[in-house]
Amino acid sequence: MRNHLLVAGLAAAALLPSAALAQQPQHPCQPQSPNRTAGSAGATIGALLGGLLGGAQPAYGQSDCVRAYGYYDANGLWHANAIPASQAAGYYDRNGAWIEGRPNGYYDGQGRWIAAQADPQVSGYYAANGMWVPASAPGYYDAQGRWVAGAASGHYDRRGRWIAGPAVGRYDARGRWISGQAGGHRDANGVWVADPQPGYYHDGRWVAGEAYGYYDARGRWHAAVASSDRHADYVRTADWRGAPNDFRGRENWLRTRIEGGMSAGALARDDGRQALRTLDTLRSEERGLRNHRGNLAPRDARRLQAKLDDINQSLRWPDRTAARQF
């Protein structure tokens, strides 16, 4: 019987366009429309074949759609849900799991969720159509399934003042906001990819240079890890500009740098925690090496400073702009 069902499923699939088979299963929060019929049929056949062959499909909770801000698709793109703000309580991640609260973070180039430490109240905004959009999203699908590219929670004017409110556009290399133009493109698979920023605003001042990140609803820049499809490598640098010269001063300065990078999402939390643990071990070692007067021998001081250099050098920044920011 199993073989008969498999043959029947394959025969039915052969009658469908290849594009229909390539589509992902219909998300229960996604609006139905006539032009999605072929895709739904393809998803049904795909689900049938998946069940026969031992495949698994995301388990979405239908009842949660009435209280979802929206959901991320498999490409990490946001689909806004048209429901009243008073009813929203959570969202679906790209794996179909229900998450309470608003999204506060972003997906990196490997599809990993990078949580932000920013205030959740400024992690997104309501677009003009009343739908909630994460600040980190380079655009979103509206309730009709139309892509709105270049969406933002606000923008900086020519004087470096933050203008809060939904906006669509991009910045040029001089920090001028170009309304209506989206900074991005679709890749070979038709997936929207945001282009790197030509710079970013920090305390109302334009900092030129390629950067990856986004602004929250209050205009604060959050550095992000570059997507792998841009072939951008992590930047490693033991930059001590602005740091004290003594060991304890540098140790505290480096600790603040690491914590700041983690808070802004510029450093992966696992990497940051490992660096902080190494600093804790080094601090204990330094205390044990001081003599009864509290001084370090010159050789020990040089060795400890070299270890600080190694920790600083081990930090993986998305770009040099982010490395200089902390």
Q: What is the pLDDT of residues 200-230, one digit of tens each?
A: 998 888 988 888 889 999 999 888 765 543 4
Alpha-helical (H) ranges within 222-268 are 247-263
The per-residue pLDDT of the chain, averaged, comes to 77
DSSP, res 160: S
Average of per-residue pLDDT across 36-49 = 30
- Residue 27 confidence (pLDDT): 60
Mean pLDDT across the stretch 300-318? 86
pLDDT score of 61: 45
Query: Looking at residue 140, what is its pLDDT?
Result: 95
Please report, for the chain, the start and end positions of each structural domain, with discontinuous segments joined by +. 2-52, 62-230, 247-325
Listed residue (244, 247, 243) closest to 287, CA to CA: 247
> CA-CA distance, 172 to 195, in Å (whole number)?
12
Q: How far is CA 45 from CA 2, 8, 56, 78, in A?
A: 15, 10, 13, 26
Query: What pLDDT is stored for residue 47 in this prediction?
Result: 29
Lowest mean pLDDT among 61-65, 83-87, 138-142, 202-206: 61-65
Query: How far apart are the C-alpha atoms of 93 and 128, rounded to whole Å?
Result: 24
Residues 6+ apart with CB under 8 A from 150: 138, 139, 168, 169, 170, 180, 181, 182, 183, 184
Q: Are 205 and 160 in contact (CB under 8 A)?
A: yes
Indicate the pLDDT class of residue 93, thresholds 50, 70 and 90.
Answer: very high
Answer yes or no: is pLDDT of 254 > 90. Answer: yes
pLDDT digits (tens, 9 = 90+) for 160-187: 999 999 999 999 999 999 999 998 888 8
Q: How confident is the model at residue 26 (pLDDT cuts 50, 70, 90)?
A: low
CB of 259 within 8 A of CB of 277?
no
pLDDT tens-digit readout, 96-145: 899 999 999 998 777 888 888 778 889 999 987 789 999 999 999 998 88
